[in-house]
Structure 1
């Protein structure tokens, strides 16, 4: 019930305007990194297990053996791409050796991919193994490897569970539809509309490996944030969802902290992706993305409007909200402004409404998109998602007892919100909550006059935000 495997007939998907900062001086870095490519080739020569009877060349096995664990297949595909420059065909015999000159030339071709469209073309050829069309098996390999390498380049420990497979299959469902193969132009259209930075993490990782240094900040996109207070399997959010969302969302949701993190400090980690090529990455200093912090989780805090309000209010930075309901549906509401209760909708140009499963797609982009009404008697109470003048996509009534999906009533399973802002934002929210709790104590000790109209008393909203149950019809769970 409420399951949507295709676009609603009255819902058109807008094409988001994703911009990536590029500087004209960036193209000069290609020649500057030639010495780094030559040094890398020499280091690869030293890793050869057998005596190298061909000085100035390395074997395919030597190249591929540097890649371990989840990266083993990628090493095979990257070697084929560098040797053939993407012009090989499935079944063709790929040369078993590569010279230093060929390696440097192929490396320069990769390093000059500053435009994301050019990156998409390069990695389409890599994962299709030179064919003109990409099949579902190749696309799934691309998704798995892009996920692993994006986490690695963001210095986030690798993790994957069965929920991630559901997300990845939802991507395939959206990208391919009824087709078994797609051309580059079809993949590019889908990426532009839904996830333009899907392979950006792959390119960030390859750039770092080839140069021994991090990608310039103006060229780096799709950084994956750490999740504070996160335990895999105990939230609706998974790392697979985080990765897909960072490939879809504007930069403001994944901005970088003003500090560097030394990957050498990660040497003790159990993450195989960070130990691979460790000797090449000692000089790299990869930027870390701003963490996301869990503000509200209905399993922990209670599935109620009262508890939602208590944990959400006073957080003044962008947020990610997940809504899970029957039909395997999970929606993401990325808000670029603080949540506010009232009669008008809120959200600016970076706001997104994204369906994550069973089909991954950007449903609407740009605000105002969210209306949150608790007290006004003239409009429907609850939370409503969808742009004005268009069919409402999703809503949650005041009682938090169901969800309406395009007007169809569905069982509500889970709601959670993640804060995407600065550390200071959470600290300011906590200070505000402390002040509110003190005010609540004052109100509790104050004897209300019998002739006061409680429905119109301004203290009612303050008590509600402080966690005091002021009207039982607002909540199915008043637990603190």
Structure 2
């Protein structure tokens, strides 16, 4: 966060500022010394040595509104925490309180409130955060615990990390197209605990640096969405507050959180005739919404943002530079569609191939074992049967339960073969063909994880592409059905039948006479 200068001061600060700068009024400017670098501050936390404070209009207006509300309700010449939280973060009071305390601590104010100048200075420094790693450190510290011993670094507890994750989840769900449906996820606590177990193991607290590095390597986008929401709030809240209708909590903000679509595009008419209540209900055995949120923040962005399927008939004008720029900035949530569920479609290699092959988009394969473990294979490409290991950048193997662990993240680690002789059969994932991390047998009944065999009880496959991916797969399935019907109803002439191999087979079976 960069420092800004100010020529505007609060009451009681002008005289101090004048005395500080009087030495440079006549003659040469004094050279900067180490004592000059340490800025003096007003009791309310403003840097009174600073000049040329750039008035950022949204923050300027916001500080004036909060100052007037504080003065009218509390009679304080400044901004208090209660007004900051209730006006800007009414739905996330814990987050708002922690942010205000951080702004107050950074300003080193001696009063309980923040002066308007100090508030503007700290908000601008907060908005000036651009580096992802710095943003991550700020939010981990936000939920950390200060140490009483100045020689020991600050730390964060497992409860603090869980609170941070809960804030990330709540904000993401409230601003997805589901609009608050995330609060209904029954598996939320289990999902958060899997992440906490992965970070802390058996420890109760860890250093802020260690936790920051874990998020940086595994789930940095979860935290970055919170910062996006906070920046959006600080820069747009003044509009609603000026109109006296209150801040709406950033309802216009869209975050890249997937929305699970459990409708199977290849279900028959009998299954589609079920009640609407059942069709919109997510089964407990399927991937919960909180787990989808976690995967959207940890997997590469191609899984949470729909990727268009290339088509020769597509409009070429959509690939213009302006459209590409908009697509990169877009935060439109994708809809993950259930392609295969072994509980409904049956267990077996042929059932897996029937529902998964032909889907031209990224897919997520979830494998559930009898001993309550869940593993994920993320494929960025279309699944194909081959004796070679395939997969481009974006292939990931993850343990979801009981702990969240990214096991491998490399290209060319996926293998699927059920028919080619002389090669291992089944589904595999891992960089070493001799010792794959995860291996499913050819009957899709057993799963071998790092050399330990488990019983496989269910499989889910979710498609992460855009709707055209499902439409392409649906067209392929329709073509296959028509082709099979056409081959079954081939009409033969009498001359063709006389030389047909089926005729000789029937004669060998004892049937000599035929009807015309």
Q: How does 1:57-456 map to 2 (within 5 A)?
A: 57-66=78-87, 71-85=92-106, 96-131=112-147, 132-158=154-180, 159-160=182-183, 161-212=185-236, 223-229=256-262, 231-255=281-305, 287-389=331-433, 391-446=435-490, 450=502
Q: Secondary structure of 2:85's partner? A: helix
Q: 1:390 to 1:182 in 2, by over 3 A?
A: farther
Give, in angstroms, the shift of residue 64 of structure 1: 2.1
Contact 1:154 1:287 in 2 (8 A): no
Q: 1:49 to 1:449 in 2, by over 3 A?
A: farther
Contact 1:150 1:200 in 2 (8 A): no
Q: Distance in 2 between matches of 1:409 and 1:446?
A: 48
Q: Distance in 2 between matches of 1:452 and 1:207?
A: 80
Q: Secondary structure of 1:340's partner? A: coil
Q: Distance in 2 between matches of 1:355 and 1:413?
A: 16
Q: 1:361 to 1:341 in 2, by over 3 A?
A: same
Any stretches of 5+ residues in structure 1 without a counterpart? 1-30, 89-93, 214-219, 259-284, 454-480
Give, in angstroms, the shift of residue 422 of structure 1: 2.2
Contact 1:70 1:145 in 2 (8 A): no
Contact 1:304 1:399 in 2 (8 A): yes
- Partner residue in 1 for 2:316: none
Q: Distance in 2 between matches of 1:452 and 1:175?
A: 70
Contact 1:296 1:418 in 2 (8 A): yes
Q: Distance in 2 between matches of 1:87 and 1:295?
A: 56
Q: Distance in 1 between matches of 2:384 and 2:459?
A: 17
1:140-172 deviation digits (Å, cap 9, x = unpaired):
111111111233344543314342222211111
CA-atom RMSD in angstroms: 3.2
1:73-110 deviation digits (Å, cap 9, x = unpaired):
2122122112113989xxxxx95322322222222222
Q: Distance in 2 between matches of 1:423 and 1:374?
A: 28
Q: Distance in 1 between matches of 2:504 and 2:258?
A: 49
Q: Distance in 2 between matches of 1:69 and 1:417?
A: 39
Q: Distance in 1 between matches of 2:217 and 2:479?
A: 44
Structure 2 length-normalised TM: 0.68
1:279-311 deviation digits (Å, cap 9, x = unpaired):
xxxxxx983133222211222322222222111
Any stretches of 5+ residues in structure 2 without a counterpart? 1-52, 148-153, 238-252, 263-279, 309-328, 492-499, 506-516
Q: Distance in 1 between matches of 2:481 and 2:124?
A: 60
1:422-468 deviation digits (Å, cap 9, x = unpaired):
22111111111111111122234359955999xxxxxxxxxxxxxxx
Give, in angstroms, the shift of residue 235 of structure 1: 4.6
Q: 1:148 to 1:95 in 2, by over 3 A?
A: farther
Q: 1:43 to 1:368 in 2, by over 3 A?
A: same
Q: Distance in 1 between matches of 2:165 and 2:113?
A: 28
Give, in angstroms, the shift of residue 413 of structure 1: 2.3
Structure 1 window deviating more from structure 2 (436-445 vs 424-433): it is: 436-445
- Partner residue in 2 for 1:91: none
Q: Distance in 2 between matches of 1:87 and 1:104?
A: 14
Contact 1:80 1:86 in 2 (8 A): no
Which of structures 1 and 2 has the larger relative contact order (alpha carbons within 8 angstroms, sep 6+)? 1
Q: Secondary structure of 1:415's partner? A: strand
Q: 1:381 to 1:76 in 2, by over 3 A?
A: same
Structure 1 length-normalised TM: 0.72
Q: Distance in 1 between matches of 2:447 and 2:193?
A: 24
Contact 1:153 1:201 in 2 (8 A): no
Give, in angstroms, the shift of residue 174 of structure 1: 0.9
Q: 1:186 to 1:450 in 2, by over 3 A?
A: farther
- Higher Rg: 2
- Partner residue in 2 for 1:280: none
Contact 2:307 2:361 in 1 (8 A): no
- Partner residue in 1 for 2:11: none
